[in-house]
C-alpha cells in the first residue's frame, strides 16, 4: 500500500494555534509551565523535559541535567552535546514517547490541562514553528496558511477526542511504555494515575471500566503514528479522512457470463478474455552485477515490498551479487512459499533470492499491476498453486515456471480493472480502519483488565494489610506475609518436546507467537501434520501451563492454558511454565501477564529490533505469592468476577475481526474474478491516513517475522 502524504495545510483563523506559552492555547506546548509531572517520586517541570530525558535512559547524569534545569528550552540545549548517546531506536519510538508524555501530562493535570484541551472544541490544533521544522508543527507560508506534518498537534487532537468519548476514564491510568530501557535515573518508569476524585469543570463523569467493556456502535477512532513518518507530497487538512464510499448501487452480477476453461473460475463475464500465463508473462533471469540494489521482501501478507521498510533482521547474506533483479510490474514468486501466496507484483526495482521466480508481462496493456496483485493472491489461485506445485512435503512444495505459466488467468478490459482497483482500495481503507478500531478497543479493554489483575497479584485483596519491602525495583513492596522468590523456585519440570522421530502424519494444534496476546488468543491454533510443521513447533503444553514469549518480548505474548488440549504444541519461542503444587496454576498465569512482570521481562531482554530473553534469565526474575492456597483462590475469584465483562467484550471484538477479514477476502475474490460488477458503482476516494498505513505496515512486518513467511534464503 502506498505511503500517503504526511503534510497538512491549516488556516490559522479556523485552528487552535500556539507558538508562545503565554498565548491563549500556549498551555498545549510542551514548554508550558504550570503542568508539573511526578514520576518515580521525581518532580519534572514540563512534558518537554520529560520527553528529552527519555532520550538518554542509559545516562542518568544527562537526565538529571535536563530535569533540574528550570527552563525547558535551556534543558533541551543542554542535552545537545550528548545526542550521539541518544537511545538507538529513538526514531522508531519518539512518537510513542511523545504520546505517552502527553497522556502523563493530562493524568497529572487532569482539571487544568483537560479543560484547556476541551476548550479547543473541534478545531485543528497546530503548533506554529518559526523555523522550518515541520515534523512536530507547521510553518507559516506567504499566504498566511500553516503547512507541516504537525505531529504534536495531531497527537493532541487524538488525546482530545479520547477525552471527549467513553475512553476518558482509561486516560486516568497510564502504563509505562513497553519498550526496552524505559528508565528514569536507572530505575524502570512506573505507572501514573490521576486522582480518583478529579473532574474537569463542566465535564460530565464518564463511564466506569465495566461500562466500557460493553462495546458501543461508535468504535474508538484510530490512534496516530505508531512509527516515525516520512513526508511526501502536500495535501490539505480539509480532506475528510472518514468519507464513506458513496454509491448509487451495490455491486451486482454482470449481465451475461460464459463458462470458464478452468474449473476454479466457474464462469466469467462473457466479454472477458482468458488465457494461460505463458500468453501474458515470460520468465526473466536477470542478475545483479553489484548486489547493491534494494533488497526486496516477498511474503503472503504484503506481497513484494522493499526490505528496508520491514522490521525483519534474519536471513541477511554477506553478498547479493548474482541475485535476481526484479523491475516495476514484474511478478515475483517465492517458489517454496507459493502455496501460501508468498508472491506479488513489484512496485520497485530490486533484487530477490536466485531461487525465486521473476515473470515480466509480455504486454503492458493486458493487466493493471494493482489488479494483478489482487488476483494473484485470491484463495482460488492459491489452490491452483498448491495443485501445480511439486515436492515430497506439503510445506516445501515448489511452483516451477512451466507450472505457473500453464495457469489460466482471467483478463478483464483495462478500464474495468481500474474500476475494480479503485473500488477495492476504497473498501480496503474502510476494512482496515474498522479492524484497527477493533484492535484499539481490544487494547483499551485489556489495559483495564490488566490494571485489575496487576493490583490483585501485587497487593492482594486486603487494602489494610501490612506491607514489606522486597528490594526489587519493579515490585517495591508486597503484603508482609507473602513469599518472594525467583520465578524458577515456583516452577517444576520443563515441558517435553516432540522428537525428530515423530511420525510425519502425526497431527496437532500449533500455537505460534502470532496467535497470542496478553492473556488471550488473537487467532486459533493451526491444525497441521508434523511433516508440514515448522522446526520450532516442538513444545508439548498441557492444561495449567502458562506460555510466555521469550522473543519479541514487547509483543507481551502471555497465555494461560485453561482447558484440556490433548494435542497442543507451542513454538520454541515460548517458555512453557508449570507451577509447583503450592501455587495455583491460574494465579501464576495472572502474575506472569501482569504489567509489572511483563515490563520487567521487556527491560531484561537483549536486542533492539528483535529483543529476547533467555529462560535462564527469566527464571531469575522475582515474583511473590501468598503462602496459603485459600488466599490464592480468593484472589482468583476476585479477578474472575472483575474481568468477566472485559473477557466477553474482547472475545466478541476478536470474532468480529475474523469475520471482517473473511468478508474482505471474499469481496476481493468475487470482484477480480468477475462474480460481482462494480462498473456502475460511484466511488468517493477515501484517503489513508499515515498512522493507519504505518500501523498496518508494522503489524504485517511482525506477522512475517513471527510466521517465517519472509524467508529470503
Question: Which range scores top for mean pLDDT: 271-275, 314-318, 491-495, 652-656?
Answer: 271-275
For every residue of 398-443, DSSP letters joined together read: B--HHHHTTSEEEE--HHHHHHHHHHHHHHHHHHHHHHHHHHHHHH
Does residue 279 carry a pLDDT above 70? Answer: yes
Q: Where are the domains of the chain?
A: 8-212, 257-433+655-707, 466-625
Dihedral of CA 383/385/391/395: which sign?
Answer: negative
The Cα–Cα gap between 119 and 28 comes to 11
Tell me if domain 257-433+655-707 and domain 466-625 are identical in fold: yes
Residue 637, number of CB atoms within 10 A of its CB: 11
What pLDDT is stored for residue 204 in this prediction?
A: 44
Confidence of residue 205 (pLDDT cuts 50, 70, 90): very low
pLDDT in tens, 358-372: 999 998 889 999 999
Query: Which tens digit of pLDDT belongs to each residue from 306-360?
Result: 876 655 544 566 788 999 999 999 999 998 888 888 899 999 899 999 999 999 9
What integer pLDDT is reported at residue 351 of this predicted model?
A: 93
> Which class in CATH covers the domain with range 257-433+655-707?
alpha beta
Homologous superfamily (CATH) for 466-625? DNA methylase specificity domains (3.90.220.20)
The pLDDT of residue 573: 93
Q: What is the pLDDT of residues 675-711, one digit of tens each?
A: 999 998 877 655 555 455 545 554 554 444 444 433 3
User: Considering only 108-122, 380-394, 482-496, which range has the smallest mean pLDDT?
Assistant: 380-394
Please tell me the predicted confidence (pLDDT) of residue 574.
95
pTM flag (> 0.95): no
Q: What's the CA angle centered on 192, arms 188 and 197, to 5 degrees? A: 160
Q: Say what the pLDDT of residue 283 is.
A: 95
Q: Write out the three cell numbers for 531.
A: 511433516
Q: What is the DSSP string of 507-573?
A: EEEEE-GGGB-BSSBSSPPEEEEGGGS-TTEEEE--TT-EEEESBSGGG--EEE--S--TTEEEETT
Cβ atoms 435, 657 nearer than 8 A: yes
- Give the Cα separation of 117 and 660 in Å (integer): 34
Distance of CA 340 to the CA centre of its chain: 22
Say if CB 595 and CB 193 are below 8 A apart. no
Per-residue pLDDT for 282 more than 90? yes
Q: What is the pLDDT of residues 6-46, one digit of tens each?
A: 688 899 988 999 988 888 899 999 999 889 999 988 999 99
Residue 167: band (very low, low, confident or very high) from pLDDT cuts 50, 70, 90: low
Q: Which of 558, 221, 272, 263 is nearest to 414 (CA)?
A: 272
Average model confidence (pLDDT) across the chain:
83
Interval 404-438: pLDDT, tens: 999 999 999 999 999 999 999 988 888 988 888 88
Locate 281 and state its grid cell.
508473462
What per-residue confidence (pLDDT) applies to 155?
92
If one looks up domain 8-212 in CATH, what number appears?
A: 1.10.357.40
Let me know how many helices (H) and strands (E) the chain has, helices first: 16, 34
Could you give the CA distance from residue 546 to residue 509 in angstroms, rounded to a whole number?
A: 16
Amino acid at each position: 500500500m502506498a505511503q500517503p502524504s504526511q503534510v497538512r495545510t491549516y488556516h490559522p483563523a479556523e485552528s487552535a494555534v500556539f507558538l508562545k506559552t503565554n498565548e491563549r492555547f500556549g498551555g498545549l506546548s510542551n514548554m508550558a509551565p504550570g503542568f508539573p509531572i511526578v514520576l518515580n517520586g521525581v518532580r519534572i517541570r514540563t512534558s518537554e523535559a520529560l520527553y528529552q530525558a527519555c532520550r538518554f535512559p542509559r545516562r542518568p547524569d544527562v537526565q538529571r541535567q535536563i530535569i533540574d534545569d528550570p527552563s525547558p528550552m535551556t534543558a533541551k540545549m543542554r542535552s545537545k552535546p550528548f545526542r550521539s548517546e541518544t537511545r538507538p531506536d529513538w526514531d522508531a519510538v519518539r512518537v510513542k514517547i511523545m504520546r505517552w508524555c502527553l497522556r502523563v501530562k493530562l493524568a497529572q493535570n487532569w482539571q487544568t490541562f483537560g479543560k484547556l484541551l476541551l476548550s479547543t472544541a473541534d478545531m485543528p490544533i497546530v503548533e506554529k514553528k518559526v523555523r522550518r521544522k515541520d515534523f512536530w508543527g507547521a510553518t507559516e507560508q506567504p499566504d498566511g496558511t500553516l503547512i507541516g506534518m504537525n505531529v504534536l498537534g495531531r497527537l493532541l487532537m487524538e488525546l482530545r477526542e479520547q477525552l471527549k468519548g467513553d475512553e476518558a476514564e482509561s486516560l486516568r491510568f497510564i502504563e509505562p511504555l513497553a519498550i526496552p530501557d524505559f528508565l528514569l535515573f536507572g530505575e524502570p518508569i512506573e505507572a501514573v494515575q490521576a486522582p480518583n476524585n478529579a473532574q474537569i469543570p463542566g465535564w460530565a463523569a464518564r463511564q466506569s471500566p465495566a461500562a466500557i467493556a460493553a462495546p458501543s456502535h461508535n468504535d474508538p477512532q484510530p490512534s496516530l503514528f505508531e512509527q516515525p513518518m516520512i513526508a511526501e507530497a502536500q495535501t490539505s487538512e480539509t480532506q475528510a479522512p472518514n468519507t464513506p464510499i458513496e454509491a448509487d448501487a451495490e455491486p451486482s452480477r454482470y449481465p451475461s457470463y460464459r463458462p470458464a476453461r478452468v474449473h476454479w473460475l466457474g464462469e466469467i463475464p462473457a466479454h472477458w478474455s482468458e488465457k494461460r500465463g505463458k500468453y501474458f508473462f515470460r520468465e526473466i533471469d536477470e542478475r545483479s552485477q553489484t548486489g547493491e540494489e534494494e533488497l526486496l521482501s516477498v511474503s503472503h501478507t504484503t506481497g513484494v515490498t522493499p526490505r528496508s521498510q520491514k522490521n525483519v533482521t534474519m536471513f541477511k547474506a554477506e553478498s547479493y551479487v548474482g541475485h535476481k533483479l526484479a523491475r516495476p510490474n514484474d511478478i515475483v514468486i517465492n517458489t517454496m512459499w507459493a502455496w501460501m501466496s508468498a508472491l506479488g507484483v513489484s512496485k520497485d526495482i530490486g533484487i530477490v533470492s536466485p531461487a525465486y521466480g521473476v515473470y515480466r508481462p509480455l504486454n503492458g496493456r493486458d493487466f493493471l499491476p494493482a489488479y494483478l496483485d489482487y488476483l494473484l493472491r485470491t484463495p482460488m489461485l492459491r489452490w491452483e498453486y498448491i495443485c501445480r506445485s511439486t515436492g515430497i512435503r506439503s510445506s516445501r512444495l515448489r511452483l516451477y515456471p512451466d507450472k505457473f505459466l500453464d495457469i489460466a488467468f482471467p483478463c478483464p478490459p483495462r478500464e474495468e480493472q481500474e474500476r475494480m482497483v479503485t473500488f477495492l482500495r476504497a473498501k480496503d481503507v474502510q476494512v482496515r480502519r474498522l479492524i484497527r478500531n477493533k484492535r484499539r478497543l481490544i487494547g483499551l479493554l485489556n489495559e483495564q483488565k490488566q490494571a485489575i489483575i496487576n493490583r490483585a497479584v501485587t497487593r492482594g485483596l486486603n487494602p489494610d494489610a501490612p506491607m514489606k519491602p522486597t528490594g526489587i525495583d519493579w515490585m517495591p513492596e508486597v503484603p508482609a506475609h507473602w513469599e518472594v522468590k525467583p520465578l524458577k523456585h515456583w516452577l517444576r519440570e520443563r515441558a517435553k518436546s516432540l522428537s525428530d522421530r515423530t511420525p510425519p502424519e502425526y497431527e496437532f494444534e500449533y500455537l505460534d507467537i502470532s496467535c497470542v496476546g496478553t492473556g488471550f488468543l488473537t487467532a486459533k491454533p493451526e491444525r497441521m501434520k508434523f511433516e508440514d510443521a515448522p522446526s520450532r513447533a516442538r513444545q508439548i503444553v498441557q492444561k495449567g501451563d502458562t506460555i510466555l514469549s521469550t522473543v519479541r518480548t514487547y509483543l507481551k505474548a502471555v497465555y494461560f492454558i485453561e482447558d484440556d488440549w490433548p494435542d497442543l504444541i507451542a513454538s520454541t519461542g515460548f517458555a512453557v511454565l508449570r507451577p509447583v503444587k503450592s501455587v495455583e496454576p491460574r494465579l501464576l498465569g495472572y502474575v506472569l501477564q501482569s504489567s509489572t512482570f511483563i515490563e520487567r521481562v521487556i527491560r531484561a531482554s537483549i536486542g533492539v529490533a528483535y529483543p529476547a530473553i533467555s529462560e535462564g534469565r527469566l527464571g531469575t526474575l522475582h515474583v511473590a505469592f501468598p503462602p496459603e492456597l485459600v488466599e490464592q483462590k480468593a484472589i482468583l475469584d476476585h479477578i474472575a468476577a472483575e474481568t468477566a465483562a472485559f473477557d466477553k467484550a474482547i472475545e466478541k471484538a476478536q470474532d468480529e475481526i475474523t469475520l471482517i477479514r473473511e468478508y474482505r477476502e471474499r469481496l476481493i475474490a468475487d470482484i477480480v474474478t468477475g462474480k460481482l460488477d462494480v462498473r456502475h458503482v460511484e466511488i468517493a476516494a477515501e484517503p489513508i491516513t499515515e498512522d493507519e498505513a504505518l500501523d498496518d505496515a508494522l503489524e504485517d512486518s511482525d506477522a512475517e517475522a513471527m510466521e517465517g513467511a519472509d524467508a529470503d534464503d
